[in-house]
Amino acid sequence: MDGNGRWARQHGRNRLAGHRAGVRTAREVVEYCGKQEIEVLTLFAFSSENWSRPAEEVNGLMRLFVEALQREVRALDDNGVRLRFIGERRNLPTMLQKRMADAEALTSSNTGLTLVLALAYGGHWDIVEAVRSIAERVQAGELSPENIDEVLLEQHIALAGLPAPDLLIRTGGEKRISNFLLWNIAYSEIYFSDTLWPDFGVDCVEEALQFFSQRQRRFGLTSGQIGATGD
């Protein structure tokens, strides 16, 4: 969800106002994805690297996350949304950690959209955590190194149990991944949009889905092997 800061500057507002506008867009997009029967939506709200932003912005974002959770969790629950958080929780404010745990517990048996919020998340962190927990299991004698394969690693990655993303959308004009879901996006289709996140409304999501519907997904096979026209 890139572009909140530039959106704020364009509107003569401070960066936090841009993030507040970003939360409004997130709400709209979540609602839309729920109605479209999309199975999982993962939003990158705060990266491991974002901790290095000015303290005022970091603190403002943390407050915004607490407020947004407090305000939205009931409506999300009423709409059957299951919330899940990925990232390094222990550095987040205690109040936020508590809200996150409460929201996950409240919505855990819902069967609609799974909404994953990546908070203090980094793809490198995720892989390191997975490796660490596998190493601990080896040390405890539960596993031997020969048992380590892609399936096992995947079971220790933060999105374990959820399908790999079909589509990755990056807003705000940058053409890079910025340490998001590195393990899981091996075969994701990638859609780059110049639109700044606060302006990325339902029309923009529809355009991204339209792009996705035209992609031929081969997962390393040839067109012939997947039964499509071509070689």
Active site residue 2: yes
Query: CB-wise, 120 or 130, nearer to ligand FPP?
Result: 120
Query: CB-wise, 3 or 134, nearer to ligand FPP?
Result: 3
Residue 41 in contact with ligand FPP, rule: CB under 6 A: no
φ, ψ at 137 (rounded to 5°): -70, -35
Q: Which of 33, 41, 46, 100 binds ligand FPP (CB under 6 A)?
A: 46
Work out the number of other CB atoms within 10 angstroms of the CB of residue 160: 12
Active site residue 59: no
**Residue bearing tokens 């500057």:** 9
Q: Which of 33, 38, 65, 84 binds ligand FPP (CB under 6 A)?
A: 65
Residue 50 in contact with ligand FPP, rule: CB under 6 A: yes
HSE-CB of 108 using CA atoms within 13 angstroms: 6
E strands, the chain, in order: 40-47, 82-86, 114-121, 167-170, 189-192
Size of the site for ligand FPP (CB under 6 A): 20
**Terminal-to-terminal C-alpha distance of the chain:** 37
**Residue bearing tokens 């993303």:** 165
Ordered DSSP codes for 77-135:
HHTTPEEEEES-GGGS-HHHHHHHHHHHHHHTT--S-EEEEEEEE-HHHHHHHHHHHHH
Query: Out of 14, 50, 110, 179, which one is annotated catalytic?
Result: 50
Residue 3 in contact with ligand FPP, rule: CB under 6 A: yes
Residue 23 in contact with ligand FPP, rule: CB under 6 A: yes
CB of 40 to ligand FPP, least distance (A): 15
Residue 2 in contact with ligand FPP, rule: CB under 6 A: yes
User: What residues are labeled active site?
Assistant: 2, 50
Q: Where on the chain is the footprint of ligand FPP (CB under 6 A)?
A: 1-6, 19, 22-23, 26, 43, 45-46, 50, 61, 64-65, 68, 117, 172
